[in-house]
Amino acid sequence: MSADPLAVHQTPIPGLLLVSLPLHGDERGWFKENWERTKMTAAGVPDFGPVQQNISYNEQVGTTRGIHAEPWDKWISVATGRVFGAWVDLRDGPSFGTVFTAEIGPSRAVFVPRGVGNAYQTLEPGTAYSYLVNDHWSASAEYVFLNLADETAAIAWPIPLSRAVMSGKDRAHPRLRDVIPVAPRKVLVIGANGQLGIALRRVLGDRRVEYASHEDLDLGADLSSARPWRDYDTVVNAAAFTAVDAAESPHGRATAWRVNAEGAAALARVAADHALTLVHVSTDYVFDGTFDGEYPEDHALTPLGVYGQTKAAGDIAVAAAPRHYIVRTSWVIGAGRNFLRTMHDLAARGASPSVVDDQRGRLTFADDLARAIAHLLESHAPYGVYNVTGAGEPMTWAEVARVVFAAAGQDPDRVAPVSTEEYSASAASPTAPRPRNSVLALDRIRGVGFDPPDHRESLAAYLSAELPRWRAAAG
């Protein structure tokens, strides 16, 4: 009877793990912990979130099943008897076709990642083995199959296949040369037509990435069956209702809560149910701006207006997803109409705008924000909240406007600095409260290897690239 400690062993197939399970026994028999989340994840088994258990019972020696690559992860263990297991990597990539075999009994288990073909041959009569999977079986699930007798895999079956008990389907599966490899799971970007969504297209490209606009995926609808979620491993939520002032109106308030809070909560449920990584973009508006210093990620949420309140509610919901990145940013500048373009057009028309001079922050250029998100995903940084803005000395909106005026060849002194109260009093319609201090601490994102560029330098580079196009558009 094995009482050896729990141990996880790597195999030649990436992600396929052979696990030694302690058996505790006496004259009555034995006991084992077949799946114990805390211990096994601490030992190195992925926290794959099983949702269904199946049991296979085989009366005869030589019963052989496979080779099947399924669209979910599996945890295989034996309750009684012994089986010979054979695994072939059928995923697209350099390890395609790699083979691993092992005998497993009650004191061994195997973690099989999605896309790895698996087959089992019973070595004792009355053998029963179980498997946990992290998705519910569906008739629409897409499998990839390999013939048990494939000459390239050349599996040394203990019981020759000519004497094995097999199904007709398993005998007819294709050879390795005819197998279409299992494609990696994809990334889904929601809010693909917004400033950040457009930047993510440039940074992430189209390989393994799908982009969904509001028309493609409505965050206010039922998301449980809105996509074949087993096909994705990551969802980036770049969608939001960002009309800060409109959010204070009755209609805007309802829309902001539906998209920013309820939509984020629905995505968090999907991410938890399907073991997805959820990237959610947050905002400095979750703070009231009264903090004396740079806001750290763990500062208490203190939103002022409806927009900030709905985004804070979304943050809380997303934090419940086991695999989440909340990327908190401020003063985003990207494609389309933005503050810099507006100031340029005012400068070109000879206007002298009044711009608030008591709100401080750092600009965040959408391409830099997209690169930070890509870095978090590619580096497998620890999950949690990360502030991402430009670096360097903060500015006020009036200071930013003066830089634009100067770059446009206009007198920056034409920008009249005003207080937030003065600006609100002169506005044609009611304005939402805004944080005076929007400066976010950047130590954590730097700690995982991403160094945000100085926002003043990024501003100069952005204006240098965009000004010729803006001038041409103005005629």
Closest CA to 455 of 355, 321, 335, 361: 361
Catalytic pick among 68, 280, 324, 375: 68
Torsion of CA 418, 335, 337, 258, to 10 degrees: -90
Rounded to 5 degrees, what angle do the CA atoms 239, 240, 245 make? 155
Q: Phi and psi for 426 in degrees, rounded to 5?
A: -95, -5
Question: Could you tell me which residues come within 8 angstroms of residue 138 by beta carbon, excluding any fewer than 6 positions away?
Answer: none
Closest CA to 63 of 120, 145, 117: 120
Q: Are strands 83-89 and 116-122 parallel, antiparallel or unpaired?
A: antiparallel
Rounded Cα gap, residues 106 and 31, in angstroms: 10
Residue 330 corresponds to which amino acid? S
Q: Are 88 and 16 in contact (CB under 8 A)?
A: no
- Strand, helix or coil at 109? strand
Q: Are 51 and 138 in contact (CB under 8 A)?
A: no
In the residue annotation, 131 being an active-site residue is answered as yes
Closest CA to 330 of 398, 387, 248, 395: 387
DSSP 226-260: SS-GGGEEEEEE------TTGGGSHHHHHHHIIII
DSSP 390-457: -BSS-EEHHHHHHHHHHHTTS-GGGSEEE-HHHHHHHSSS------SB--B--HHHHHTT--PPBHHH
Rounded Cα gap, residues 255 and 240, in angstroms: 10
Structure tokens at 196: 């950040």
Residue 184 per-residue DSSP state? P
Cα–chain center distance at 286: 22
Catalytic pick among 120, 129, 131, 386: 131
> If 0-12 CB within 10 Å is exposed, 13-18 middle and 19+ buried, where does residue 347 land?
buried
Rounded Cα gap, residues 280 and 326, in angstroms: 5
- Residue 17's DSSP bridge partners are 10, 111
Rounded Cα gap, residues 242 and 249, in angstroms: 13
Residues designated as active site = 68, 131
